[in-house]
Chains A and B, each alone.
Chain A
Amino acid sequence: MDISVSNLTKIYDNQRAIDEISFEVKKGEIVGFLGPNGAGKTTTMKILTCFMLPTFGDVKIGEYSIYENPLEIKRAIGYLPENNPLYSEMNVIDYLNFSAAISGLDEEKLRIIIPEIICNTGLNDEKHKNIFELSKGYKQRVGLAQALIHDPEILILDEPTTGLDPNQIVEIRKLIRELGKHKTVVISSHILSEVEATCDRILIINKGKIVADGTAEMLKCKSHGESIIKLKLLDIQNQDTAYQILRETITNVEFDKTSDSFIISTRDADLVKRNIFNVCANNHWVISELTTVETKLEDIFRELTL
């Protein structure tokens, strides 16, 4: 199922939490929703999951509209809300049974699916415990299990890895990647590396507006349009003469004393690398390091949201 959001706006007491945002998510895509705190990520997710209505604008999920078919949409969505709220006085099995039944699974399916999901999320040893007795990581697994239990076509996960240890984070990312092969997944996060590691596409949202939309690579290209090359040379007699010679063929060269290397910024990295090679070959210099320094997603994020 595709998600199509058009002109979505939500106003809380004169404050625009989200401001006319529009985007589309295709089936089989993993989209990361990125933004600083209070940017409107959670509000958008609450509207997508039909928890609340927008002030205006529309969301279409597949054929269904949030205004006319909220129940169908809710059935098609698995949702892990922010902070992972759970009925903590219930035990894991009872809770999963309840979640599955209320999502519309019948008794027969329940009997098959519950043991399966318990195994898949690694809850087997904890299944008889009450939820409040579980550690945060296990609670998060229960949260994921309840979102996945009815095999939804769309998964919406609000900060799925908060509070997990590094091993669990890796596991969850792997799981999300796996699920993303045949489901539409929307995750939100303010951790950039996480979004970069799991998502096909990134939407950066700030103060209620979408400020960037694209793959991590695309965003990196867009932000500067140029890459930075770091060059270290051996066998040069004098830095200044080498600098002069380099400047004859390559523009935008600078010498960085701290790293003892030349920094070249360019729009066409390949051409510059060729030129560097030729210059070095002519002067019998040895290239000891030639690296493209990537623009980090962090920088783009700061650039767009500050």
Chain B
Amino acid sequence: MYAKKNLQNNITFIFLFILAILFLVPIFIVLMNSFKGRFFISDAPFALPNSQTFVGLKNYTVGLAKTGFIQAFFYSLFITVFSVGTIVLFTSMTAWCITRVKSKVSSIIYYVLIFSMIVPFQMVMFTMSKAANVLRLDNPIGIIVLYLGFGAGLSVFIFSGFVKSIPHEIEEAATIDGCNPIQTFFLIVFPILQPIYITVAILNTMWIWNDYLLPYLVIGSNYRTIPIAIQYLQGGYGSKDMGAMMAMLVLAIIPIVIFYLALQKYIIQGVVAGAVKG
């Protein structure tokens, strides 16, 4: 019995091990090709670089110059950090308020926000980018307002779910002690919600960092984020530089891997917590 179980476990382990390698191989193939000359990639992507095809870091220098990748990295970083910060602050305030104050307005706000989660972006992409244009939101600061608007649905939804589970006696005690709602929120509720802030922040970071279409339509012609820079390399027909493409894909993946390995525990917990409340 024990031996049989052991054998079974070993087979499972080997199976998972092979699968894990299959999951990682695509990234290694891109890494490998990023060191090969641009004309040696498409024809034989699975061949290791050799003395004839190896070009060192040339793809990286060419790619960086072509795409303005470093600038793109900082635009992406700026937009993601400040949008996520804005979203978690304002949507937690909204979620707490509409969950605690039971009124018609509160439930209208809640259901309209939930509805927005289902609607595909294409429904509003044209009118939204025109509105952004008119209101001068077509820059890396203005786009934060748009992300707050689009992120509101999911974030309010998750925060509301957790606010419901906090006993409101604590807040009532604070009110009796003379706290106004703003003090109650920031002194009492805010600290209790801490773990949920991490969840909401992580879900929004994953979305905004990788988002392509919204920034492309709103700020794409003047400011390139990382996904826009990558798509830009695709360029016109026939002129595509595969070497630069491989190098930029590697540079796009590196920050994500670092972010993931550093915060892995929180990311996985965040995904689970977000899903369970959903």
> Does B associate with A?
no
